[in-house]
Amino acid sequence: MAFRYLSIFVLILSFLRAESLGEGEPYTDLSLKEALRLANEQNLEIDIAEFDKKIAELGVKVANGYNFGKIDATLMGLRSNDAGNVFGFKLQSREADFGDFGFSEFLGGVGQAIKMSGGDFAAFANIMNDPQMAGQLLSTAPKDLNYPDARDHFDLKFTYMIPLYTGNKLTNYKKIAKDMLKMSKLDKEKVIAQKSFEIRKTYYDISLLDKFVLDLGTIQSNIIRLRDATIEFKKEGYAKKTDLLEVESKLSNVRRMLFQAKANKELSYDFLSFLLNHDVKSIKHVSLDTFEKDIPLEEVLKRNTDIQKAKTGLEIQSKMIDVTNSAFKPTVGAFIEYGSSDDTFLGDFKDHDRYTFGVQAKLNLFNGGVDLNKLEQEKLKRLKVKRQVELAKRGITLKYKKIKTEINNANVQIKSLKKELELAQEIYDNYQERYKEGLASINDVVIKQSLQIEKLLNLLKAQNVRNQKILEIYRLAY
């Protein structure tokens, strides 16, 4: 029943792979070198990491852009009969006159006083100095000023603001943006290293499985010959039915192992196709011993991306201290504004234009100790990140030594298992001949055959462990 489900699972995966992977002819006889190159171009996770890097590159440009200030263009179109607004509109458009102040009504009162004086200046002065007359004139509410006609107002202005000095805050933000770009590059390198590890491991898995299938095929052929010989012995009365059943049982067991190995190889091809985002049908085998190359611990610590990221984080945190410290320094900025207003859009722009420029300096004198405490926070964060760098180094060192120990153990096991497999093969051949001569039972032959298969399985496991650990050393160094 388990074999049936496994078969269905492999068929479903194969169908999904054919439906979802990139278009084009499937790759055949694909070399490891070519697969690594294609992964850099086609792997989706590497592609996502490249987007993150480009985002960080734009972040550097954003940080640089703040040094050049900003220019805003503002256009307003208004209509109002509010007295304050209308008077302000005319004043901003340089079109205000004395009539807007209500002088027409004021002059009417003055004219009445002149008429009453009969042209005598002294009499006119006395009339104007009369408290009742003065109060009447001053209490007059000018209709032109208080109840003006509605007016359209169009205002266009350009404003340029630029920071002159920010206590080195912008300079440090620019440096931090560059460090963040460096961090994103390290993240991409880590993804590439991980995909490289997965591709290499898949190549070695497939190569091992093919070797395992070949060895199992040889064992299957030997068992088939043994079965045929047992059938002949049974005809001549030298073997029993139970002898034949034992051989058939062992043959079924080997065929089951062959099916599982081929299914696992199919899954490995599915995974490789997923990594390359393209269907892969066959690869060029890699030698199981060519990748064993010693990388010294010093090189691993120098190139490991996690350690480099931790160091970059320490650099960022150091700059954050400088950013926070800028709160204790003055900031200086400049601005220039140029514009024009009129009751029609862009009407008499040059005649109504105006400008303003200025400089502002600002220094924070007291804010309840907030800036001081923030500075202490950043200093403590820096100490924390520094310890994290040390922890990363110690962790990588411990992991490196552990992997090296596991590689050495696996090498010893592989050497021993290869010798044991050779001896198991010789013993099996010997018992097979003894069985034909009637000196050993079929049960003895089957037991020796089982031991041979067990040694082969153990050798496969040890080789797989060794290859994975060697690749993990490479992953630590990238």
Give tens-digit pLDDT for 354-387.
Answer: 999 999 999 988 888 898 999 999 999 999 999 9
Kindly state the percentage of the chain with pLDDT values over 90.
Answer: 45
Residue 177, classed as helix, strand or coil, is: helix
Please report where in the chains the tokens 């205002």 appear, as a residue: 155
362 and 331 in contact (C-beta within 8 Å)?
yes
What integer pLDDT is reported at residue 149 of this predicted model? 80
Give the three-class secondary structure for 159: strand
Could you tell me which residues come within 8 angstroms of residue 465 by beta carbon, excluding any fewer than 6 positions away? 406, 410
Q: Please give the Cα distance from 396 to 307 (Å, whole number).
A: 8
The answer to whether the predicted template modeling score (pTM) of the entire model surpasses 0.85 is: no
What CA–CA distances, in Å, run from 262 to 211, 255, 309? 11, 11, 41
Element (H, E) at 390: helix 370-436
At residue 423, what is the residue type? L
Helix (H, G, I), strand (E, B) or coil at 331: strand
Classified as helix, coil or strand, 370 is helix
Q: Which CATH number fits domain 2-68+167-328+382-476: 1.20.1600.10, 3.40.50.720, 3.40.50.150, 3.40.50.10860?
A: 1.20.1600.10
pLDDT tens for 167-198 read 899 999 999 999 999 999 999 999 999 999 99
Identify the band that residue 323 occupies on the pLDDT scale cut at 50, 70 and 90: very high
Domain ranges across the chain: 2-68+167-328+382-476, 80-150
What span, in angstroms and rounded, lies between the C-alpha atoms of 57 and 478?
Answer: 22
Higher pLDDT, 29 or 97: 29
Q: 102 in the Ramachandran plot: left (φ > 0), alpha (ψ -120 to 50) or beta? A: left
pLDDT at 294 over 90: no
Highest mean pLDDT among 39-53, 223-237, 292-306: 39-53
Confidence (pLDDT) at 120: 60
